[in-house]
Amino acid sequence: MKGGKEREKQRVLWECFLSAVQSRAVTLCFLGIGGILVAGILAVAGTDGALMGILAVTFLTIVLLWLLVSGLLEWKRFAELERLLEGVSERYLLGEMLPKPVNHMERRYFRIMKEVSRSAIGIAEQTRREKEEYCDYVESWIHEMKTPLTACTLILDGAISGGSMLSGDREREKPTDTGFPGDPSGEKPDAGERMCERGSELRRPRRELKRADNLTESILYYARLRTAEKDVKIRAFSAAESIGEAVRSQMELLIGAGISVETEGDFTVYSDEKSLCFILKQLLVNCAKYCPGCHIRIRAEEGVISVWDNGPGIPAHELHRVTERGFTGSVGRAAPLWRSEGKEDIAADAGNPGRGTGMGLYIVKELCDRLGITMEITSEEGAFTCVALGYDSRA
């Protein structure tokens, strides 16, 4: 051990010496020429050879010591700079932390580095400010967009419920006079049935509005990732209640996609309830988008919420990338790709949601990391997919 330290010390000294020689090559050349000239003058003057030898050795010793000491001082300064560089998270700030220069050349470099550093800081601050302003604008725009989406949804709900009520009233009235002039069949058209059909037609645009609302919510959470810690409210709540809320909010899409949902279990979670609800909703949206007609089972037990479906699954070579930003995979690029047996009509009725954005699971993973939730995805292509969210259960 001691021998290793000695060898390392010798290596450092040798490197310092070589560095000093390389950086002072021109100076050493002039010193050598000067030494030769002085030796020639002394020889012409008849100086004793022994004295000239002593002077030559003294001169070379002084030069070697000068090179060694200079190399050690430079190595020490470079080591200090490296420590500063390692301790700074934003590298462009290093120019503001440089040690004071010790010579004229260092002072010139110091002045240049100060100018470069201040310019970089100004550009970085301007970019950060513009990004913050843009994200704030996106957040406000999303809030404004959600208002008309909610209004349109309520209007469609009123039209659908109105049609259902009219259909029920017509069924109870049962008019006796069914003749209708000009009708070849001699039967009066059923207004209740027409309204019921109209209500059924209105459910499709309502599902599209729900998709739009889900997309705006995803964008909102993505914009808030930079300040996720400020929006988090940790408290105790029931996992089953959050699961139920998420399922109810996506009921229109799930019904339209012919998806059945089974929930079971419960435990107390200490986390942010809104974030958990969004995570579960995003997983349900993915099921509605990529595997219409499947069955979903959501289980909450022993501090783990698992969302399982018998959809198309994820290819093994893509499983480790599904949470990457912008990654869509083979299923996302061909959505809706999968059809359950005998469910072609359901898939068609669910509408074509288009290709995936590759942002859903990325946002989910980022939220899980910020909230300290472990997220594990297991899948078998053509069989199932299961997403397990691990919480700290203190129930």
DSSP symbols for 58-104:
HHHHHHHHHHHHHHHHHHHHHHHHHHHHHH-SSGGGGGGSPPPP-SH
Which two three-digit tokens encode residue 12? 């450092």
Cα separation, 334 vs 384, whole angstroms: 18
Residue 102 has pLDDT above 80, yes or no: no
pLDDT of res. 190:
54
Tokens 């010193």 map to which residue? 31
pLDDT of res. 394:
46
116 against 3, higher pLDDT: 116
Whether the bond between 205 and the residue before it is cis, its omega within 30 degrees of 0, is no
Residue 277 has pLDDT above 90, yes or no: yes
Please, which pLDDT band fits residue 241 given cuts at 50, 70 and 90?
very high
Please, which pLDDT band fits residue 52 given cuts at 50, 70 and 90?
confident
**C-alpha 115 chain-centroid distance:** 34
Please, which pLDDT band fits residue 230 given cuts at 50, 70 and 90?
low
Which two three-digit tokens encode residue 100? 């004071």
pLDDT of res. 207:
76
pLDDT of res. 181:
46
**Pairing mode of beta strands 304-309, 260-265:** unpaired
Residues 162-178, mean pLDDT to the nearest whole number = 50
Residue 26 has pLDDT above 50, yes or no: yes
- Look over the chain and give the mean of its residue pLDDT values, rounded to a whole number: 78
Half-sphere exposure (Cβ direction) of 334: Cα atoms closer than 13 Å:
8
Residues 195-200, mean pLDDT to the nearest whole number = 56
Residue 122 has pLDDT above 50, yes or no: yes
pLDDT of res. 184:
47
pLDDT of res. 239:
93
Residues 307-311, mean pLDDT to the nearest whole number = 93
Residue 84 has pLDDT above 50, yes or no: yes
Residue 127 has pLDDT above 90, yes or no: no
Cα separation, 112 vs 188, whole angstroms: 92
CA-closest candidate to residue 288, choices 244, 345, 352, 363: 352
High-pLDDT (> 90) share of the chain, %: 19
Residue 353 has pLDDT above 90, yes or no: no
Which of the 8 DSSP states describes residue 393? Answer: B
Total-model pTM: 0.62
pLDDT of res. 191:
53
Beta carbons of 305 and 371 less than 8 angstroms apart: no
Residue 279 has pLDDT above 90, yes or no: yes
Residue 392 has pLDDT above 70, yes or no: no
CATH number of 235-395: 3.30.565.10
Which of the 8 DSSP states describes residue 303? Answer: T
Sequence-separated (6 or more) residues with CB below 8 Å from residue 146: 213, 216, 217
Helix or strand or coil: residue 101? Answer: coil
Residue 372 has pLDDT above 50, yes or no: yes
What residue segments make up the domains of the chain, in order of their start? 2-87, 235-395
Phi, psi of 390 (to 5 degrees): -95, 120
CA-closest candidate to residue 210, choices 287, 146, 141: 146
Phi, psi of 322 (to 5 degrees): -65, -20
